[in-house]
Structure 1
Amino acid sequence: MTDTTRTGHMNRRQALTLMGAAGLMGPAMIGRDRAFAANADPSGQIVLAFSQEPTVFNPLMPHIEVDEGVYYAVFDTLFDFDPEGALFPILATEVPTVANGGISEDGLSWRLKLKDGVTWHDGTPFTAEDVKFTLELTVDPDFRSFRSTGYSFMRNITVVSDTELTWEMSEPFAPMAAILASTYIIPKHAFDGVEDANTAPFNNAPIGTGPFRFKNRMAGDHIELEANGEYHMDGPFLKTLIIKYVPDLNVLYTQFKSGDIDVVGMQYITPDHLAEAETLPNKVVTVAGTATFESLGLNMMRPQFQDPAVRKALYAALDKTSIIDALYYGVPTPTETYMPQQSYYYNDQLPQHEFDLEKAAALLDEAGWMPGADGVREKDGVRLEFTNSTTAGNHLREQAQQFIQQTFGAIGVKMEIKNFPPAVMWGDYWMNSEFDTVVVGLNTLAGADPDTSSFFMSSMSPARGGAGQNTFAYQSERVDELLVAGASSFVPEERKAIYEELQEVIREDLPFLPMFQYAVIKGRKDDVSGPASNVNNRIDTWNVRDWTRG
């Protein structure tokens, strides 16, 4: 059974719906308003497998997508995006809009209403104080925050009552609703008396309001979650959710094939197994587009990559067509940008990549990068030599690295492969830009909103002292200007032009060498219901509250 969903752009109606949810238009479409429905008696167990190990359990700290596989189960956001790009409430009673009085006409005053009667996993009542604490912690200068975008514009956060709070924005910020939709709310009381929030006990024993409680963790193997019987929405319908880590993707598939795994999560079934997987009895296999793109990312602080000619030469020497066809069986779609092709804001007029070793060598010759005695090019004492890293055990990426290593070598560039286990690779090594280059998959969007400030704004590089996810340490004055302009506009057509130009600038600068947009192969047993693709969310468990067995 195959449901290929790699095509079809977000249309203007969907973009307008999103903008309405973000604030200045009509009422948002509420995809799910089922608070306090009678919960089913949870039963059964599902084993969900990821190829990487979640290691960061405070969702406000720097983290990667796999960590959100746990967050969606343990925590709640105020609201979230459904697969159609509409926002629906979770901890909030409604998504704030101009129409319902939640946002002022100028976008500067916000009022948020919360559900009454929600409790944390330890029985403590959830209140507006928790939301205020969460929002303020993100901009605490002493806290290692994963993102300050949007939050830094919030002023005078005021608790009106246990179920209501207000704040002002220092300037209109169109992506604010999308930022809030990806903000997991954490409990204020868990930090009472804690001197350093970065080392709080909570960070290893999380307490949420979500459908599952954190039961135990066996480092390097699995996390066990149990049903929260007091959950405030429908579900959970499972008694136990096991999140298992299987770093080797061949082993991941073998365990799915044998029945040891019920649902295959990221990095999913590899394309070389697709033909067989579709014939497996009692299994459901689907191919779905995602907002994640694969690239060869550069650390822009390294002297090798300061010269634009080097970046352009490396891109010309990247044989991504062979990588896609030979290793990924043509399943992913080549791309020139970070923006998913399903997005209303996708720029389809970008220059198309051509693999051309002669052109690559000529670019380096013209820029003065000449071969040394050992054949490696150098200029002004800097050699075109660097490491490339990714997740050990991801055999397709490891094979892609070998392709890249060979073609780079053909133009006098030496690339050493240096891979790490997932917890090491995507820890400080990635977050603090300790790498030279990486092969990495990223989703840079917050839901369906096109803002990517956290990833590309010059001030958002942790290695340069910022609080964000610009791990490429990319700096561009024009990109900064465009990001500010795009976040200040609430008109989809105006924003589209801005983000199309933004993609042009990044495509010209090449802080990363784009390869393809993911089309992932998902698998589950046919007695598992609930898992659903959602291009507007970063990981499979976005609706784990709905999953059932039997």
Structure 2
Amino acid sequence: MKLKTLLMGAIATAAIAPAAFAERGSDGQVNIIYWQAPSIMNPFLSGGTKDVEAASLVIEPLVRYNQDGVMVPYLAAEIPTVENGGVSEDLTSITWKIAPGLKWSDGSAFTSADVKFTADYCMDPEGGCAQVTKFEGVTSVEALDDLTVKVTFAKPTPFPYGPFVGGESPIIQAAQFADCMGAKAPECTEANFAPIGTGPFVVDEFKPNDVITLSANPNYRDPAKPAFAKVLFKGGGDATAAGRAVMETGEFDYAWNLQLAPEVIAQMESAGKGKPVAGFGPLVERI
């Protein structure tokens, strides 16, 4: 099975994520085209949606938002709240419990040390982290034990779900990025182009501003996922060409961000090979 869908302005991985499959990799290869080509696989060094979404196939946050804007645990065991004791009553701290048994794609254990390291990495004043606003007001991040992380804020923070939440604030592996702190961050080409992750795929080859090839992560936490054994993530061209590649020629299974006139999209859809889907989210391009 392959998905023939063209999505405008929504999360790519949400559109291609299978609901349930009996065997990892059973659906072969999926071909994705982004006419705005990814240039890096480290969201902390890029503010571009194209890079964030490409990286989301490999590295993950503790929690993500689903298509309805509801937070869903990924690496966290649950969503901390005041009611369950995860958020302090004075709203100055949030304590995350990590799901047990998680592994990085290299087979090593995922722990709170990786979460703390990610915060240290992004909050380093010499690192130029593009997502540093996610850690605004944070005074400390502590690894209380292997599966517990406490984030403390300088003042009451009614919405403490900035750090480690969403595709722009994923967790990177401390061991891989240990020598990439501060001013050295952009020098770590191998780590920035092929991060070790907890997500469903691993990077086989990354050609900046061109193409990414990925394969199923053998250590992914769900033995039945991902459904696809391979991903071809092509970048470049323009919105029109990307739309035609899905809905007219069928060369690709999924295209993103088709900022085209409705009549142009309708004409493409008439070829019968794909379906346009408008995904509404919180991002504001302009007012």
Distance 2:21 2:270 in 1: 38
1:245 aligns with 2:235: yes
1:198 aligns with 2:190: no
Contact 1:150–1:175 under 8 Å retained in 2: no
Distance 1:289 1:158 in 2: 36
Deviation at 1:55, TM superposition (A): 0.8
Aligned to 2:275: 284
State the identity as a percent.
Answer: 27
Amino acid at match of 1:40: E
Structure 2 counterpart of 1:110, from 71, 74, 94? 94
Aligned to 2:251: 260
Structure 2 counterpart of 1:161, from 141, 145, 166? 145
Bigger helix fraction: 1
Deviation at 1:111, TM superposition (A): 1.4
Deviation at 1:97, TM superposition (A): 0.5
Distance 2:244 2:136 in 1: 46
Classify the secondary structure of the residue corresponding to 1:102: coil
Aligned to 1:41: 24
Aligned to 2:17: none
Amino acid at match of 2:175: H
Distance 2:73 2:219 in 1: 18
Distance 1:241 1:111 in 2: 35
Distance 1:209 1:128 in 2: 14
Aligned to 1:409: none
The change in CA–CA distance for 1:99 and 1:215 in structure 2 (over 3 A counts) is same
Aligned to 2:207: 218
Distance 2:130 2:159 in 1: 17
Classify the secondary structure of the residue corresponding to 1:177: coil
Contact 2:112–2:147 under 8 Å retained in 1: yes
Q: Which has the higher contact order (CA 8 A, sep 6+)?
A: 2
Once the two structures are superposed, the pairs formed by residues 147-546 of structure 1 within 5 Å of their partners are 147-182=131-166, 183-194=169-180, 196-200=184-188, 201-233=190-222, 235-256=225-246, 257-267=248-258, 270-295=261-286, 514=287
The change in CA–CA distance for 1:91 and 1:155 in structure 2 (over 3 A counts) is same
Structure 2 counterpart of 1:126, from 101, 104, 110? 110
Deviation at 1:119, TM superposition (A): 1.3
Deviation at 1:168, TM superposition (A): 1.9
Classify the secondary structure of the residue corresponding to 2:257: strand
CA RMSD of aligned residues (A): 2.5
Deviation at 1:39, TM superposition (A): 6.6
Deviation at 1:99, TM superposition (A): 1.2
Q: Deviations over 1:494-529 (max 9, x none)?
A: xxxxxxxxxxxxxxxxxxxx3xxxxxxxxxxxxxxx
Distance 2:262 2:93 in 1: 48
Deviation at 1:287, TM superposition (A): 3.4
Deviation at 1:84, TM superposition (A): 2.1
Distance 1:275 1:38 in 2: 32
Larger Rg: 1
Distance 1:124 1:147 in 2: 26
Deviation at 1:125, TM superposition (A): 1.2
Q: Deviations over 1:229-254 (max 9, x none)?
A: 32124621110111111322332233
Distance 1:45 1:246 in 2: 20
Aligned to 2:80: 96
Q: Deviations over 1:179-212 (max 9, x none)?
A: 5312110000012345622312311221111111
Ranges in structure 1 where 5+ consecutive residues have no aligned partner? 7-36, 296-513, 515-550
Deviation at 1:94, TM superposition (A): 0.4
Distance 1:147 1:287 in 2: 27
Classify the secondary structure of the residue corresponding to 2:258: strand
Classify the secondary structure of the residue corresponding to 1:255: helix
Contact 2:239–2:257 under 8 Å retained in 1: no
Distance 2:255 2:38 in 1: 15
Distance 2:68 2:153 in 1: 28
Taking structure 2 as the reference length, the TM-score comes to 0.83
Contact 1:159–1:165 under 8 Å retained in 2: yes
Amino acid at match of 2:249: S
Deviation at 1:293, TM superposition (A): 3.9
Contact 1:249–1:270 under 8 Å retained in 2: no
Aligned to 1:335: none
What is the number of residues matched between the two proteins? 263
Distance 1:268 1:212 in 2: 28
Contact 2:33–2:234 under 8 Å retained in 1: yes
Distance 1:179 1:267 in 2: 30
Distance 1:55 1:167 in 2: 31
Aligned to 2:16: none
Taking structure 1 as the reference length, the TM-score comes to 0.45
Distance 2:58 2:218 in 1: 13
Distance 1:261 1:269 in 2: 18
Distance 2:104 2:149 in 1: 19
Distance 1:95 1:39 in 2: 28
